[in-house]
Amino acid sequence: MNSKERVLAAFHHQISDRVPINYLANPGIDLQLKRHFNLAAEDHEGLARVLQVDFRNVNAPYRGPALHPDDPERGIVSDIWGNRMRWMEHPGGGYWDFCEFPLQEADEETIAEWPMPDPDDFDYSTIAEECRRCREFAIGTGSPGMADVINSNGRIRGMEQTLIDLVTDDPAGALLTKRRTQIQLEVLRRTLEAAKGEIDFLWIGEDLGTQIAPMISMDTYRKQLKPVHEAYLSLAKSFDIPVMVHSCGSSSWIFPEWIDMGVRVVDTLQPEAAAMQPAYLKKTFGAELAFHGCISTAGALTFGSAEDVRKVCRETLEIMTVGGGYCFAPTHLIQDNTPLENVLAMYQTAQNFRM
């Protein structure tokens, strides 16, 4: 099997020659891995091949004008949506922290006038060639942040106001969601058209759980978020590709709803969260859902020994690969404070495991 065949077999609950593998990491640990394998800092493909990663991601880059100013004196940078971020160092590395919320008190008129990217300003011209270059791999488009409402609105409007918006039907928050969704859907549509059938799945996300419980009620989900997610599922269906949905925390409460909506692959699967243990997920949803993730970045991988990592990975693989339907991946980006030997142990275990 090549990588594409291996991943698609897992998505369809079929047995493959080995478990499909994916890789997600923060820049610091990513650079350590490249140095370990004597790879250049920019050699992303080289590292993916060494780790035997079966996935590749293709998205249209933005080529339009800068829409929101940076503030160099205060160390603040802005992205194309107007999110404002500042680099925050910590003992394990650093993060771009969302430090200001310019639309926190915005009304409909302000949000209607807020600069957002035009789908015309994304570059679709290289999509077909990128897909041809990655043809042996499972090619996805989108990301865990695609379709996301709670996090994406929260980054620019504040998490508290975003959750209030969902409960109170605030028209300003609804307009923010509508504008961003329309843009994303059009960019995705043009990307999929440019790919000429070479993209294998759409990746979207919505964080719906805390560590112990749902983030919102089912009624709120069905009223506010389900119509958004259905629009992305409908787009994917029109191109005859499956959708993989990312959700952090205790999110299995939403899986029956997603199954009814047509979701067939779920991502992240934090095993330390309530009702997210591998055995429970496999027994309860394994007949209808394929899984991607489950190797916690907040457990043995970061805080245990290499042998602890091997044990957790073997146990997870033994549970999740039964009957197919599992792709081996970290729950989130592997963190910069993760010991290098643990990351190596993680991927060596997956590479050597036989189903």
- pLDDT single digits (tens) 190-248: 999 999 999 999 999 999 999 999 999 999 999 999 999 999 999 999 999 999 999 99
Half-sphere exposure of 90 (CA within 13 A, CB side): 10
Q: Is the pLDDT of residue 94 over 90?
A: no
Burial 11-47 (b: 16+ CB within 10 A, else e): bebeebebbbbbbbbbebbbebbbeeeebeeeeeeeb
Sign of CA dihedral 110, 113, 117, 118: positive
For the stretch 3-27, pLDDT in tens is 999 999 999 999 999 999 999 999 9
Q: Give the pLDDT confidence score for residue 355 in this predicted structure.
A: 83
Q: Give the pLDDT confidence score for residue 90 in this predicted structure.
A: 81
CA distance 234 to 230: 6
CA distance 141 to 199: 7
CA distance 317 to 354: 9
Q: Is the pLDDT of residue 83 over 80?
A: yes
Q: Give the pLDDT confidence score for residue 193 in this predicted structure.
A: 98
Q: Give the pLDDT confidence score for residue 264 in this predicted structure.
A: 95
Token digits for 276? 């997210």
Q: Give the pLDDT confidence score for residue 270 in this predicted structure.
A: 97
CA distance 324 to 330: 18
Close Cβ partners of 153 (under 8 Å, ≥ 6 residues apart) = 162, 165, 173, 176, 177
The DSSP output letter for 276 is: -
Nearest 5°: the CA angle 64, 66, 69 is 170
Determine whether 77 is exposed, middle or buried from the number of CB atoms within 10 Å of its CB (0-12, 13-18, 19+): middle
Binning pLDDT at 50, 70 and 90, where does residue 272 land? very high
Q: Is the pLDDT of residue 91 over 80?
A: no
For the stretch 106-145, pLDDT in tens is 999 999 999 999 999 999 999 999 999 999 999 999 999 9
- Residue reference for tokens 């039964």: 322
In whole numbers, what is the pLDDT of the chain averaged over residues? Answer: 97
- Residue reference for tokens 């998505």: 11
pTM beyond cutoff 0.95: yes
Binning pLDDT at 50, 70 and 90, where does residue 92 land? confident
For the stretch 291-314, pLDDT in tens is 999 999 999 999 999 999 999 999
Instruction: For the domain covering 3-64+116-352, report its CATH number.
Output: 3.20.20.210
Domain spans, the chain: 3-64+116-352
CB 138 within 8 A of CB 7: yes
